[in-house]
A and B are shown apart, each in its own frame.
Chain A
Amino acid sequence: MEVIVRDRSGEVAEYEVPDLSALFTQLSDEMKIDALCGGCCSCATCHVYTDEGDAKYLSDCDDSERDVLDGLLHVRSGSRLLCQLSLKEELKTLKITIAQSE
């Protein structure tokens, strides 16, 4: 799948990845996200904004992810934790914006 990522400096880059878990690893390697907890739904350093129109293609936000998001200052509609995100329906191109750090 293709993902268009806007990073914290406003730069936009395209990624071709097999799934969103691979994107999490790649953005962490590129230091675009901190991924401090390594993807265990705890530190919120992989907070991203997704487009509302894409919601139906994305995995549901469970209680654990919702709890973490509720504790953030910069949460808004479309907020997700990238470490918890997967596709439930095929999607050719996804757009995400990396949220500012807390």
Chain B
Amino acid sequence: MNNSAMSSTETDIELLIKNMLSPECISNPYPVYKQLRSHAPVNGLLDYPPGTVPGVDTPYPAWVVTRYEDVDYVLRNPEIFSSEDPMQANSSAPSLMLVNHDRPRHTALRNLAKMAFTPKRIHDDIVDRLRTDINKIVDRKLNAEMDFMVDVAGVIPALVMTYLMGLPPEDYKLLVRWANAFMVSSDFTPEERQACNVELFNYFVAAVGKRYADIEAGNKVSDDLMTAFINAEYEGDTLSKEEVVLFCITLVVAGAETTTYFLGNLMGVMLEDAEWFSKLKSDRSLIRPFMEECLRRDGPPQRLFRLVLQDCEISGQAIKAGDWIAFFMAAANHDENVFPEPEKFIIGRKNIAKHITFGRGIHHCLGAPLARVEAEIMLNVILDKCEGVNGELANSKRQSGGLLAYGFATLPLQLIAKRGS
């Protein structure tokens, strides 16, 4: 390669990184990831971790890591790549529990939290209630023109959060708004974003404070996650009141928005190819593989950040202690060396369990079983009640506010009721 070709390639890559936060790239980042995967990590992405406010907080330049092998390496080596987030810590955002902790505190916190997300607890506390509520949500909109993101996908995960923490069900709307503002993937002004962070924090300070007071007064309290956090004890360790507040906030921001996008993306695949509806309706055993392939190809969480603690190499590129990296699970899930024809929706891929939408290693997503249950119940209710879905993907719009998540901002469609229902 001659010098001019080299410099033109370097310029192209720099431009590519610079344009990653453009609305075009955010709404369809996969072609950009494909180009980036042909390079070792490249430095210079100026992006915003959850909770930080564009226009107010100053991003650090991050290395962009996109190959499956490299992303996997970062996930598996938490002693080299710390989850501490100095940018978020310096912002007005409440810091996230677990997500932003390293060992050994992370292990203690995870041991307290994982009991809340066991398949048994999800099954016993959520499944029946959620099925009843999703039936009502779908019934209200049968045959009507709707925006699936507002009327269905946006409602389910936030409702589940209200069940989990014993909040008034009508507060789901507040949770949706705050989660959207926190996750930097909607069109909010910096002032609105900051105001939402404050409202979210104050809401849970009040709710958790009331619960503590009820417990101290000997009043009967509901056996939910908030109470479980307050009473949680693991090897003599307990959570402080502020940690309980932060745990509740973490659940809302980590669980509400990403799952909403996942539910929307599932319906997006059905609009892409109408045959999926009849296939899934006639063979429900295809639902799980359908969901997993959707998590791989269209998984909402795109990337996370890590702080580098020791000098290391990623794909031959030297990375120094103190550097900041952005690693893209979504780009890794499209790595053609691991998933051939990655843009195609192929259910039953032999290695589908290797997708890293929920992460891997000590920071794997504790809420993954919850997201899967929400999706599975939603699909089953829709398949039970409907004979098809009408809609054109051309009328939908992907969110373009932030690179954190891939999903629809609007998804107009119609659920066609089964004849005779």
Contacts and interface: CB of A to CB of B under 8 A. Distances in A.
A44 B119 CA distance: 10
A42 interface: yes
Nearest to B369: A102
A42 B114 contact: yes
Contacts of B114: 42, 67-68, 71
Contacts of A70: 118, 120
Nearest to B359: A36
A38 interface: yes
B361 interface: yes
Given A42-B364, A64-B111, A73 B353 contact: no
A71 B121 contact: yes
A74 to B, nearest CB: 8
Interface in A52-76: 64, 67-68, 70-73
B350 A67 contact: no
Provide the main secondary structure of the chain A interface.
loop
A67 B115 contact: yes
Contact of A71 (B76, B110, B115, B351): B115
B113 to A, nearest CB: 10
A102 B361 contact: no
Interface in B354-368: 354, 358, 360-362, 364, 366, 368
B11 to A, nearest CB: 39
A43 to B, nearest CB: 6
A72 B114 CA distance: 12
A39 to B, nearest CB: 9
B120 A71 contact: yes
A38 B120 contact: no
B123 interface: yes
A102 B256 CA distance: 22
A38 B107 CA distance: 14
A40 to B, nearest CB: 5
Contacts of A73: 119-120, 123
B119 A38 contact: no
Interface in A20-42: 31, 34, 36-38, 40, 42
Nearest to B361: A38
* Residue with the highest number of chain A CB atoms closer than 10 Å, among B114, B358, B360, B366: B114
Interface string B300-337: 00000000000000000000000000000000000000
A102 B350 CA distance: 19
Contacts of B111: 64, 67
A36 B358 contact: yes
A36 B369 contact: no
A31 B354 contact: yes
9 contacts: A37-B361, A40-B362, A44-B119, A64-B111, A67-B114, A68-B118, A71-B114, A71-B115, A72-B119
Interface of B: 76, 107, 110-111, 114-115, 118-121, 123, 350-351, 353-354, 358, 360-362, 364, 366, 368-369
Give the 5 A-B CB pairs with smallest separation, nearest first.
A71-B118, A102-B119, A38-B361, A34-B353, A37-B364
